[in-house]
Structure 1
Amino acid sequence: MGFIIRLLIVGAAALLSSYILPGVHISGFVAAVILALVLALLNAVVKPVLVILTIPVTILTLGLFLLVINALIILLASAIVPGFLVDGFLWALLFSLVLSIITAIIDAIV
């Protein structure tokens, strides 16, 4: 039950983030919830592999390279999810930052 609520919260945060950022487009709430599910799967499967493969670069950049990995995950989700479009790498990076902030705020309220 908690996982479903978390998906709905992330979906609402993604939809709100797309209203804030003009380079990110989500067609509706259903696409946002599907995006939240795909992001959960990608963060569970692909992200740990990328983090392990890029440990030297992450250490050299003092962890800032993890933002690049988050943006790549967003771009991969954009290729997978119909109804979700990101205009470029910079928008994916900004979307991941805004999505994290909005999700944290909503989690704190709920």
Structure 2
Amino acid sequence: MSFLIRVLINALALAAAVWIVPGIQMSPFADDSLSVGLSYGVIGVIFGLINALVRPIIALFSMPITCLTLGLFTVIINAGMLMLTSWLTQFTPVGLHVDAFWWDAIVGTIIISIVSAVLGVFVKSDNR
């Protein structure tokens, strides 16, 4: 159940980023509401898997520069994970397209982080 809630939070955060940042677009299965929701769910799963599998490895190897920048390099890592999600969704029926790294991916990452943090407050965690 916790996995589904995290996917839903990822999907809503990605939807907010697509809605706010003009350089991030999503192409759904079809144009009806159910297909758009399922498309965000698929992209949320892909984004969650990348954050669970790839991000810890990148964060470990970039720990010196993250410490040197007092944690600000984490934003760059998260933007890279968003760009990796954009690249991987090219091979699926749904698509997430991020135009530019320095503007669209960075701002999109900040929006995704804020929305995820706000929605995470309302979700009861198993370890609390």
TM-score (normalizing by structure 2): 0.77
CA offset digits 1:43-90 (Å, max 9, x no partner): 111111111111211111111111111000000000011421000102
Whether the aligned pair in 2 keeps the contact of 1:11 and 1:33 (CA below 8 Å) is yes
TM-score (normalizing by structure 1): 0.89
Equivalent position to 1:92, from 96, 105, 115: 105
Q: Distance in 1 between the 2:53 and 2:6 partners?
A: 18
Q: Give 1 or 2: higher helix fraction.
A: 1
Query: Shift of the alpha carbon at 1:42?
Result: 1.0
Tell me the C-alpha RMSD between the 2 structures. 1.5
Equivalenced residue count is 110
Larger displacement relative to structure 2 (66-75 or 99-108): 99-108
Query: Shift of the alpha carbon at 1:31?
Result: 2.4
Q: 1:54 to 1:30 in 2, by over 3 A?
A: same
Whether the aligned pair in 2 keeps the contact of 1:39 and 1:74 (CA below 8 Å) is yes
Percent identity of paired positions between Structure 1 and Structure 2 = 35
Structure 2: which 5+ runs fail to align? 28-35, 124-128
Whether the aligned pair in 1 keeps the contact of 2:26 and 2:95 (CA below 8 Å) is yes
Runs of 4+, deviation exceeding 6 Å: none
Q: Distance in 1 between the 2:120 and 2:80 partners?
A: 24
Q: Distance in 2 between the 1:16 and 1:55 partners?
A: 29
Q: Which protein is bigger by CA-based radius of gyration? A: 2
What is the match of residue 75 of structure 1?
A: 83
Q: Name the amino acid aligned to 1:85.
A: H
Query: Shift of the alpha carbon at 1:38?
Result: 1.2
Structure 1: which 5+ runs fail to align? none
What is the match of residue 30 of structure 2?
A: none
